Chains A and B, each alone.
Chain A
């Protein structure tokens, strides 16, 4: 078996080449029409055909390309590859309507090179929301997840509780982090920077199309009893598993909007997305537990800045 080689023949288009696409496959070889031989820009398009009242109309209207043409073929067998590519060298015209003078080519260069295949990056897995939390999460991580799920149910500087009813959070550190997650002040609270980061990251991912709403939820489809909802969440605040399960199956939270300017995003999805992102980062080693303290490491300042800017 020989080395994989790429055979290239390049030429200039003298008269417009009639083709429906700038990339044509002919047998084992590819014909690509480009604007310039140095860069792979799209070629210039011109329409030809009879002018009727200043316009070109069907059926004589045709799409043509101007620029340069590059013919390539890849083969291990040198003799066969050369034979395939040099068939084009005997041709003076390419494309359709060659008897009328369209598609005349002036061949310029020929070269043979070793073909190096570019390694393709493995496709990223699409993020899926977990149906439930996995077993045996460390307590520090569970505490973080609880904080992430509760952060929007208290009054902050920016917004009141998103379910209109404030929840009394028993854990002091979590409460402090949730209350101040929209403040610019620095504090010694361990959870605060992590909540800020995931809140901004989740909104950065989901906020694509802006849609202004005037109401926090669709009251036309029946009222939500927020007092009961707050009570249900309050009862489950000590267990991350119970809280996640409740939010996952909650029909009320799917109707509540996360931001008034992005009316299509639900609060349920926002909370679950934050939790799932944090769990994924924990498995990848971005979220680290050291001496009973949880921290994030290696966040680029650039990405952090861009995320926070877009989220605001």
Chain B
């Protein structure tokens, strides 16, 4: 019997969002801003449509920048340009362009998130969701409430429309998993955890100034995973064993300070 095992560490985040608009899908009829559809066509119609939540990696990126700035450490900015063509400065104080520190004097953010020159140490698993209203047990996707917010407004005393568009939103609990592709130092782990805790201060997706994109963190755990795949009568069977590393997490937090 064929058996393949793989051992790795990961960070598992369980969070809730009251309302978020990570719409990045096709725009149907030019009016509704959709989520990115990733369902598999005709055969998977029983499973229901699956969508991809975008923007969580970028949210962590920005919270890392904020945490570093609080502590007075210079890290990479999300942009790799210093100024525009007209000479307008893009970089705020305390940052350098993305990837400029590599390979000499590599900053802590670049060590974790990488840039165009270097692959990231963290592999973000896609957050795939389906509608919670579907009573489907077979699907591997996470279940969330998915709906459309329609915004119409007319000019007073006339039928002329100022706004006529819709935005898809999601709400509910979801889990975000980050796989560590390499072993990271305790300081880096502490920095990573600190920036995860800073994530609720920012917002992800669209309409953040209107109250969307809030995150409520419920659980953050560093885990060691042993994943095995076996083949039984031509079918691939997958099993996972997880172990929480609370002690290592505490050491990391204290190392960052």
Contacts and interface: CB of A to CB of B under 8 A. Distances in A.
B41 A67 contact: yes
B234 A15 contact: no
A109 B40 contact: no
A213 interface: no
Interface in B211-257: 229, 231, 234-236, 238
Interface residues of A, number: 35
Interface residues of B, number: 34
Contacts, number: 85
Contact of A99 (B4, B114, B238): B114
A98 interface: yes
Residue from B4, B39, B57 having most chain A Cβ neighbours under 10 A: B4
A207 interface: no
Given A36-B43, A86-B4, A111-B234, A15 B27 contact: no
A106 B140 contact: yes
Nearest to B141: A14
B189 interface: no
A302 B44 CA distance: 42
B234 A14 contact: no
B160 interface: no
B122 A109 contact: no
A37 B37 CA distance: 21
Interface in A12-33: 12-16
Nearest to B121: A99
Interface string B121-145: 0111111100000000000100000
Contacts of B234: 109-111
A16 B38 contact: yes
A101 B120 CA distance: 12
Contacts of A102: 126
B40 A12 contact: yes
A58 to B, nearest CB: 15
Contact of B123 (A15, A82, A98, A110): A98
B126 A15 contact: yes
A51 interface: yes
B124 A99 contact: yes
A13 B57 CA distance: 21
Given A90-B4, A99-B114, A110-B231, A66 B124 contact: no
B36 interface: yes
A15 B128 contact: yes
Nearest to A44: B41
A107 B126 contact: no
A286 interface: no
Nearest to B123: A99
A87 to B, nearest CB: 9
B216 to A, nearest CB: 22
A90 B52 CA distance: 24
A104 B126 contact: yes
A222 interface: no
Contacts of B122: 99
Interface in B86-106: none
Contacts of A89: 2, 4, 229, 231, 236
Contact of A104 (B40, B114, B119, B125): B125
Contacts of B2: 82, 86, 89, 110
7 contacts: A14-B128, A46-B36, A46-B38, A50-B24, A82-B2, A90-B229, A110-B235
Interface of B: 2, 4, 6, 24, 27, 30, 36-43, 52, 57, 114, 119-120, 122-128, 140, 181, 229, 231, 234-236, 238
